[in-house]
Structure 1
Amino acid sequence: MKFPPLPGGMVLPWAVFARLKNRFRRRKSRQFGGWWRTTTPRHEDESVWEGLMSKHRLLIVEDDFDISNMLRIYFSGQGYDVQVAQRGSEALEKTRQNLPHLIVLDIMLPDIDGYEVCRRLRTSTRTSHIPVIFLTQKDERSDRLQGLELGADDYITKPFDIEELKLRVQNAIARAERESLTDPRSGLPSGRLLEDHLRRIIRSDDWALMDLRINHYEPFREEYGFVAADDVLRFMAMLLNEVVDECGSPEDFIGHAGGDSFVVITKKACAPLIKEKVKQRFSEEILTHYNFIDRERGYIAITKADGTEEHVPLMDVGIGVVSAGDYPFADIREITEMAAEARRTSG
């Protein structure tokens, strides 16, 4: 198969972003006790500059090495963070470990076919929101309908125009973000998806809601810049996925409530161990996000407007937990407010 030459990537000079660092700061969002709202707008703290620097993650599932390698090189050149899987089982494992923003999925795979991969993604709480574009040799109407019935977002046949595929990928990701389905930095469910899962726990008698917040995140962001701060959000998302995989259940939900706030919905019995593991691993692994001097002294030295120096502790994670039976909850707002209060008083 012959593909068009790869276009050269454009690079915005770092100096431009350095000058903009202090001009585009996160605006404080209005609070209603907890972080849940009746309607969830696009995050107020998200600027166009953060969007430019945040890499969307793609997972290419294709057993033909030439095609998968070409797609990896091309989309990496377009600014995407690209992973490749050659088998369906490998794709499911990589998706669980680090949620992609979109999956390009070949139907004909050596172990389980793309239809089955898509079915499993759609039936899992933590992966059901990920956009899927089918990539296949088949061009029969029945095959296209089968993929779309399983929940695929789009369908493109080989041989394909790579520029067309790029536009389909861009549109699918933009549509998901526009509908507040995922946070563009962490790749985790947000907005409407988060609200939907919160509504479900009201009807359940075995649940625990964990409210997680990265303490001292804002000073880190101001000192190190939003690129490094976005890396912390992605690290947090990956850490939560790994811990919930290890200590939780397959139906557990992980969401990004915006900014430095995250949510885990799990079984009541799983919550204590998840909380312990997250706090332990975060305190150990967050150190790699600091420079040597700050790691050694254990704080960030920030010069305030009046010229005095403030010592800001290194980041840690605060976690509040409420569960079924703790209180006579009337609605979602009460649940999220109690979880936020539990986090603030947890120490």
Structure 2
Amino acid sequence: MGKARLLIVEDDPDISNMLRIYFTAQGYDVDTALRGMDGVEKTRHVMPHLIILDIMLPDVDGYEVCRIMRTNTRTSHIPVIFLTQKDERSDKLKGLELGADNYITKPFDIEELKLYVQNALARSERESLTDPQSGLPAGRLIEDQLRRVIRDKGWSFLDIRINAFEPFKDVYGFIAANDVLRFTAMLLGEVVDELGSDADFIGHAGGDNFVIISSDQTAPMIKQRLKSRFSEEVQTHYNFMDREQGFVQFTDKNSEAQQAPLMTLGVGLVSPSTHMFSDIREITELAAEERRLDSSNIA
């Protein structure tokens, strides 16, 4: 995977800075928060792959932060390691009951904490819980959400793909392409925060393919807002010349010069009010077909 993102929620600046410096040197992308709700807010903007969470915080305690994470569909999958001065058995059990992945007490061995972090991230990747680039829920978690909603009413499933992503990657390289994937994940979160609810689900099916599960009422608005904002904001990932001419030039597998349009989003939307589903595979297949039709209608 690329650089894993860690969020350290710790109100002691000395400990927070020490952990930030140490894990940055280990090759992680590290962000910090001194207050519990600041940490919750940061997960709304950039999804971390793992959270190191102190229990004694100045606003709400770490237990409450973990509870908020676990009850929010979009953050329930993030591994949490508690870091605390409390070493009572009851405190540890409380943290584990809330869904924490591990519990380490102060003063702690930094090498031991590093192993906890590595193991939690490896388990998450091995079990296809999160996408290594975006940190969003991936394969198994997407399937679990679809199994949960398929017998319900009032939901919609959006299959989202970045059109002309591969030509962009060929011209600009994989680092720029990964930046586009992270931008897209952030955009999905912002639009769902604006128009949807905490119960909405955002996933990364792999590569340039994302999904959203929302309500019947808000899904069409989410679709339109995503498409319009993406088309406008993705242009900052191109150089001036490509933006001005409205396309990129690339060489295909036959070594012939080709032109590809600037990236857009293709979005397929299906729901029980418009389609009949016998299993979750039909949901994804029909949504993919709707997405292909949506992409073909782009001028």
How does the TM-score come out when normalised to structure 2?
0.96
The reply to whether residue 213 of structure 1 matches residue 152 of structure 2 is no
Match status 1:293 vs 2:293: no
Q: Which residue of 2 aligns with 1:162?
A: 110
Aligned equivalent of 1:192, options 136, 140, 146:
140
Moved more, 297-306 or 199-208: 297-306
2:117 equivalent to 1:202: no
Q: CA deviation at 1:160?
A: 1.2
1:323 maps to which residue?
271
Name the CA distance, whole Å, in 1 between partners of 2:251 and 2:273. Answer: 47
Q: Secondary structure at the match of 2:100?
A: coil
Q: Does 1:67 align with 2:3?
A: no
Determine which of 119, 134, 138 is the counterpart of 2:67.
Answer: 119
From 87, 90, 105, the counterpart of 2:53: 105
Show the 5 A alignment for 1:1-347.
51=1, 54-346=2-294, 347=297
C-alpha RMSD over aligned residues: 1.2
CA distance in 2, matches of 1:272, 1:169: 39
Structure 1's 63 and 265: CA in aligned 2 closer, same or farther, altered over 3 A?
A: same
* Per-residue deviation, 1:223: 1.9
Instruction: Note closer, same or farther for the CA distance 1:305–1:196 as it changes in structure 2 (3 Å cut).
Output: closer
Aligned residues: 295
* Cα distance in 2 between the residues matched to 1:64 and 1:119: 22
Residue ranges of structure 1 left out of the alignment (5+ in a row)? 1-50
Question: Is there any run of 5+ residues in structure 2 with no aligned partner, and where?
Answer: none
* Residues 190-245 of structure 1: per-residue CA shift (max 9 Å, x gap): 11111000111212111000000001111111222222211111111111011101
Distance 1:231 1:291 in 2: 14
Task: Specify the code of the residue in structure 2 equivalent to 1:82.
Answer: V
Percentage identity across paired residues of the two chains: 68
Contact 1:253-1:266 within 8 A present in 2 as well: yes
CA contact (8 A) 2:196 2:214 kept: yes
Distance 2:42 2:254 in 1: 49
Which whole-Å CA distance do the structure 2 matches of 1:102 and 1:176 have between them? 10
Q: Under a length normalisation based on structure 1, what TM-score does the superposition of the two structures give?
A: 0.83
Query: Aligned partners of 1:237, 1:81: CA distance in 2, in Å?
Result: 17
Q: Given that residues 81 and 102 in structure 2 are in contact (C-alpha distance below 8 angstroms), is that contact kept between their aligned partners in structure 1? A: yes
SS in 2 for 1:345: helix
**Which deviates more, 221-230 or 196-205?**
221-230
